């Protein structure tokens, strides 16, 4: 998707509203087979929201499913962990 923000902005707005209204545990499950730069930026924005929520006492779990034959995705996820300060559980799946 060329304009990924059109997908992610409503998701981020919903997440912010959920945090304010519900203040419950959040589990984010990610399953992507392709990751472009604009998606990476949007994911970092989401991770920032989640980190702030976690730092304020909220419960946050992030999992990332990746194809077993895609070691590059593992490196990307590890970079996201470092940049975001969130733990991301990697889940290896077969095609």
pLDDT tens per residue across span 13-66: 999 999 999 889 999 999 988 888 899 999 999 999 999 999 999 999 999 999
Q: For position 35, what pLDDT does the model report?
A: 85
Handedness of CA 49, 54, 56, 57 (dihedral sign): positive
Structure token pair of residue 18: 């959920």
* Whole-number Å distance between alpha carbons of 38 and 19: 24
* Whole-number Å distance between alpha carbons of 55 and 32: 26
* Whole-number Å distance between alpha carbons of 10 and 70: 29
Q: For position 95, what pLDDT does the model report?
A: 73
Q: For position 65, what pLDDT does the model report?
A: 94
């Amino acid at each position: 998707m060329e304009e990924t923000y059109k997908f992610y902005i409503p998701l981020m707005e919903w997440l912010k509203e959920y945090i304010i209204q519900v203040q419950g545990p959040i589990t984010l499950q990610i399953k992507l087979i392709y990751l472009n730069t604009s998606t990476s930026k949007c994911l970092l924005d989401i991770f920032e929201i989640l980190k702030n929520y976690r730092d304020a006492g909220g419960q946050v779990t992030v999992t990332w499913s990746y194809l077993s034959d895609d070691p590059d995705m593992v490196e990307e996820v590890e970079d996201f962990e470092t940049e975001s300060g969130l733990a991301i559980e990697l889940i290896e799946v077969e095609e």
